[in-house]
Chain A
Amino acid sequence: MRKYLILALLILLLAACGSTTGSSTTTGEEATTAVDNSVTPTEEKDNNESTQTGSISVITGSTPEEASVVREQDHILGAEEPVVTIIEYGDFQ
């Protein structure tokens, strides 16, 4: 009985964790700040994780700079030479 109670509590705990939804993002107003919008390809680094699966080999990144590099395997819409690159992480729900 106790085992089932603990299991139920664990399930409730997991159910309480939810995906986040957003509130508006505001842009600053007070000052001008230099903005470097260039996205420059980074060299592949040895400490990046590499995963080989089927026909897809992907090097993922653990920093925004590394993750910002658009990869061959990525699903892409829009400009080929963008000014703004938006990489969305989603789970279809």
Chain B
Amino acid sequence: MARLADAFPNEVQIVYRHFPLNQIHPNAQKSAEASEAAGAQGAFWQYHDLLFERQSQWAQLSTDEARQFFIDLAAELGLDVDQFTADLDSGAYADYVSALEQEAVALGLPGTPSALVNGEIVAGNIPIDYTVWENYVKTLIAVASIPQWDEPPEMTLQEGKTYHARVKMENGGEFLIELYPESAPQTVNSFVFLANEGFFDGVTFHRVLDGFVAQTGDPSGTGMGGPGYTLPNEIDPNLSHESEGVVAMANRGPDTNGSGWYITLGPAVNLDGDYTIFGRVVEGMDIVEGLTLRDPATNPDAPPGDAIESITIEISD
């Protein structure tokens, strides 16, 4: 975890709390108290690091031997040994450690290490590979930079008008989407709002699967980001993913639509009924078909996908 703080010094904060597994680690409680005693002298993290590094040396010691080991560590760090020993022997931090243990239990944490990451529990399958954490943190940082709104925009679509979205790509290509406000009014309204806000400017087609879909709409480029609000599904039974060029909303289940959307690259009728269709490509499908293939599931380190320069909304009678 400390490596993450070093790697992202302006974005990441690491907090350590005790969760002594006293039933299986006989010296867990006292090791935690010892670290607190060291912390009282400004040396928590040094002591923390040494405890981890040398766990094989103290984990199975008797109570008296472990006590001496902890005291010796304090001496090694140049701490006030008399004060440290007094704190350790008096149990000055025993209740504090126990309170944190009880908190962990109340949270339902199954063991160690467990973590809260931005308020969400990551436990049980917490990754031990640094690279996994690094990528996870990068995603969170990218998502955190996305503009957010508390609720969907007010309805501003004009009845009887025709709406198109002209998508300009950074590589110079351009295609035109006819929007379906009558079939998906909230979705089109949101899309228009976000486009006018410049939300999609610079956003990549982060997932382009040959013959299936080209997906975009997330400024973080991960599929995890959104605008801060969700929209309900708006399924028009008269619309189908029956060919290429169908434009629809990505989601993670019913009524979880955010800003992600995709264009079909071929028939995909299996998607009918689960994804809000809100338009179709009427010009420039060759540009869409030429998007760089990219599958983050199989190659998460692939270069960023082709980026949208801007989306301009065109309103006509």
* Alpha-carbon gap, A54 to B301, bound state (A): 50
Q: How far is the CB of B193 from chain A (nearest CB, A)?
A: 15
Q: How far is the CB of B119 from chain A (nearest CB, A)?
A: 4
**B77-85, B126-134, B155-163, B180-188 - the one binding chain A:** B126-134
Taking a contact as CB atoms under 8 Å apart, the answer to whether A91 and B21 are in contact is yes
List residues of chain B with CB within 8 A of the CB of A70. 13, 15
* Alpha-carbon gap, A43 to B79, bound state (A): 37
Task: Tell me how many residues of A have a C-beta within 8 Å of chain B.
Answer: 59
Further contacts, 14 of them, CB under 8 A, given A62-B106, A68-B116, A92-B28: A19-B111, A20-B110, A29-B207, A31-B260, A32-B226, A51-B98, A53-B92, A77-B14, A85-B119, A86-B116, A89-B19, A89-B109, A91-B32, A93-B59
Instruction: Give the secondary structure class of A's interface.
Output: loop
* Alpha-carbon gap, A80 to B20, bound state (A): 27
Q: Does A5 contact B (CB under 8 A)?
A: no
Interface residues of A in 10-32 (CB under 8 A from B): 14-15, 17-25, 27-32
Q: For B11, give its contact among A58, A84, A90 (CB under 8 Å).
A: A84
Q: How far is the CB of A13 from chain B (nearest CB, A)?
A: 10
Q: How far is the CB of B148 from chain A (nearest CB, A)?
A: 7
Taking a contact as CB atoms under 8 Å apart, the answer to whether A82 and B115 are in contact is no
The digit string for B8-23, where 1 denotes a CB below 8 A from any CB of A, is 1111111111111101
Taking a contact as CB atoms under 8 Å apart, the answer to whether B8 and A88 are in contact is no
Taking a contact as CB atoms under 8 Å apart, the answer to whether A60 and B15 are in contact is no
List residues of chain A with CB within 8 A of the CB of B212. none
Taking a contact as CB atoms under 8 Å apart, the answer to whether B106 and A53 are in contact is no
Question: Whose C-beta in chain A lies nearest to the C-beta of B149?
Answer: A34
Q: For B95, give its contact among A17, A51, A74 (CB under 8 Å).
A: A51
With A60-B99, A89-B19, A91-B19 as contacts: A82 and B31 at CB distance below 8 Å: no
Q: Does B240 contact A (CB under 8 A)?
A: no
Q: Does B140 contact A (CB under 8 A)?
A: yes
Taking a contact as CB atoms under 8 Å apart, the answer to whether B99 and A24 are in contact is no
* Alpha-carbon gap, A66 to B97, bound state (A): 18
A-B residue pairs in contact (CB < 8 Å), sample of 11? A14-B23, A20-B125, A25-B136, A32-B223, A32-B258, A76-B14, A84-B137, A87-B115, A89-B112, A91-B32, A93-B59
Q: How far is the CB of B259 from chain A (nearest CB, A)?
A: 5
Q: Does B118 contact A (CB under 8 A)?
A: yes
Taking a contact as CB atoms under 8 Å apart, the answer to whether A32 and B9 are in contact is no
List residues of chain B with CB within 8 A of the CB of A29. 207, 223, 296-297
Q: For A68, give its contact among B119, B132, B143, B260 (CB under 8 Å).
A: B119
Taking a contact as CB atoms under 8 Å apart, the answer to whether B251 and A93 are in contact is no
List residues of chain B with CB within 8 A of the CB of A22. 113, 124-128
Q: Does A83 contact B (CB under 8 A)?
A: yes
Taking a contact as CB atoms under 8 Å apart, the answer to whether A39 and B250 are in contact is no
With A36-B148, A87-B15 as contacts: A60 and B252 at CB distance below 8 Å: no
With A17-B24, A79-B10 as contacts: A86 and B117 at CB distance below 8 Å: yes
Question: Whose C-beta in chain A lies nearest to the C-beta of B259?
Answer: A32
Q: Does B114 contact A (CB under 8 A)?
A: yes
Q: How far is the CB of A76 from chain B (nearest CB, A)?
A: 5
Taking a contact as CB atoms under 8 Å apart, the answer to whether B224 and A27 are in contact is yes
Q: Does B198 contact A (CB under 8 A)?
A: no
* Alpha-carbon gap, A37 to B140, bound state (A): 8
**B48-56, B165-173, B280-288, B304-312 - the one binding chain A:** B48-56
Interface residues of B in 199-227 (CB under 8 A from A): 207, 217-218, 222-227
Question: Whose C-beta in chain A lies nearest to the C-beta of B54?
Answer: A92
List residues of chain B with CB within 8 A of the CB of A89. 17-19, 100, 104, 109, 112-116
